[in-house]
Amino acid sequence: MAIELPALPYPRNALEPHLSAATLDEHHGSHHRGHVEATNRLLEGSGLEGVALEEIVRRARGRLADEAAQAWSHGFYWTCLSPCGGGDPAGPLAERLARQYGDFIRFREEFTRQALGLSGSGWVWLVQRPDGTPGIVATRGGGTPLTGTDTPLLACDVWEHAYYLDRQNARADYLEAFWKVVDWQAVGARLR
Ligand code: MN
């Protein structure tokens, strides 16, 4: 059974003006699709055919692990965003972020700092540690928290392809736009 490219959970122009339809077309229709197709090619004969994508990310090695991770991370990223997103989180997530970072603003500053500090391509994640506390993790290239013990709650793709059509190489501007479309309800629902 092949891995499928999940449809965007909103129309391609739904995140405008923060993320343009052109960026979503390219990012979902070309980059995300490319990782799904490469995963399917590499799955043949791997012994992991028919295994769920998350499980492939955990169990595969080498190129398949990398492509599967990118396929999974992109699907996850789209579900972290919403045209009704932005603002501040509420409920238990807000409480845990405040306990860990002082307040939401300081959490956002620290996440942004790590996103801007990651040299080259990668991802920045809000995760839940095994002890329940929130943490911020930056992974290079296609790395994901799935291969460790943390539970991913939120992903920010900081590969240049996530923003160059809208903002050239201005990653800081992209981060500002990103915060305006984060779906805190979806992120908070992932707490265990
Ligand atoms: Mn990407």
Q: pLDDT tens-digit profile of 165-188?
A: 998 989 999 999 999 999 999 999
Distance CA(68)–CA(98), nearest Å, equals 34
Count other Cβ atoms within 10 Å, centred on residue 29: 13
pLDDT value, residue 174: 97
pLDDT value, residue 169: 87
Our CA angle for 75, 58, 34, nearest 5°, is 40
* CA 132 to the chain's CA centroid: 20
Please report, as a single letter, which amino acid is at residue 20. S
For residue 32, the CA-to-ligand 1 centroid distance in Å is: 7
Q: What is the pLDDT along the chain (192 residues), one digit of tens a residue?
A: 799 999 999 999 999 999 999 999 999 999 999 999 999 999 999 999 999 999 999 999 999 999 999 999 999 999 999 999 999 999 999 999 999 999 999 999 999 999 999 999 999 999 999 999 999 999 999 999 999 999 999 999 999 999 999 989 899 999 999 999 999 999 999 999
Question: Which of 120, 118, 121, 159 has its CA nearest to residue 137?
Answer: 118
Distance CA(163)–CA(179), nearest Å, equals 14
pLDDT value, residue 126: 98
For residue 102, the CA-to-ligand 1 centroid distance in Å is: 31
For residue 66, the CA-to-ligand 1 centroid distance in Å is: 13
Question: Which of 26, 33, 22, 24 has its CA nearest to residue 181?
Answer: 24
For residue 23, the CA-to-ligand 1 centroid distance in Å is: 10
pLDDT value, residue 113: 98
For residue 96, the CA-to-ligand 1 centroid distance in Å is: 28
Distance CA(133)–CA(26), nearest Å, equals 35
Distance CA(22)–CA(20), nearest Å, equals 5
pLDDT value, residue 67: 98
For residue 99, the CA-to-ligand 1 centroid distance in Å is: 31
For residue 70, the CA-to-ligand 1 centroid distance in Å is: 8
